[in-house]
Amino acid sequence: MSGIPNALAGKIAVVTGASRGIGKGIALELGAAGATVYVTGRSATPGRLPGTVHETAAAVDAAGGVGVPFVCDHRDDDAVRRLFQTIRDEHGRLDVLVNNVYNSPAAARWLGKPFWEVPPDAWDETFDIGVRSHYVASVFAAPLLIESGGLIVNISSPGSQRYMHNAVYGVAKTALDRLTADMAHNLAETEVTVVSLWPGIVDTELLQLVPADAQGQRLVTLPGEGTFDLGQAETPRFPGRAVAALAADPGRRSRTGTAWRVADLAEAYGFTDVDGRIPRAD
């Protein structure tokens, strides 16, 4: 099951990096709950992977919300500042910020590599997009969110607690979860909730490139981590339902400053993935 229709009617949300993947799934579920969703990303035209901010915004409309495409490179602080100034000018409020932007195709080059085979510029790329951009968006969004008593969701990973992918990935996710905890500390005297969200393995457009084998299974092997059946993976809508449930929960402050697995929130809030399952791949 999904959330309650119109539970977020009148609410304004931003989902960064929402052209495709987890960000798109979150934008669609916020739209399905009635929110106006600003969809950010660099993809104004299709690239190697399908999806643009304009296509996601149209899909938010079709889901029942209002989608607003905003082409934005999250390495450009001025562009991010303009995004939140636009929201203040057009709506005077912001209720939800989802920091999701991440360069997954670039990161895939270094899967399973020992640290001495991962070049220093991979560190910069991972932290610029996967940590710094989340901080910058939160800085510019905070005044609006403090006024509304809103929600910040940082899309993170169990890689902050155990080895996943490579050393740079793990350090970046640990930094992101620390950012969640410290932002929650700074916001303790406000009504703003800040959480990290841990999806499992999500069948994004990038993983959909994995072909089926002779038995019809789509298997992906992560070096040093195992082989996973993508038929059992989460859809991008599953973490989206977690965000929508948090946004609609008047008691969400009890969760602030902490990382939450999507599957655990599904059990707590009573939602499932689109096929009725609660996937647990981690």
CA dist 65 → 57, 144, 195, 228, 258 (Å): 9, 21, 24, 34, 29
Question: Which residues, in sequence order, are bridge partners of residue 227?
Answer: 221
**119/169 Cα distance (integer angstroms):** 13
Pull the structure tokens for residue 117: 């085979």
169 is catalytic: yes
**237/29 Cα distance (integer angstroms):** 7
State the sign of the Cα–Cα–Cα–Cα dihedral 99, 101, 107, 111.
Answer: positive
Single-letter residue type at 180: T
Q: Is 257 left (phi over 0), alpha (psi -120 to 50) or beta?
A: left
Among 38, 102, 135, 169, which one carries the catalytic annotation? Answer: 169
Q: What angle do CA 100, 104, 109 make, to 5 degrees?
A: 155
**Strand extents, DSSP E, 20-118:** 36-41, 66-71, 96-99
| Residues known to be catalytic | 169
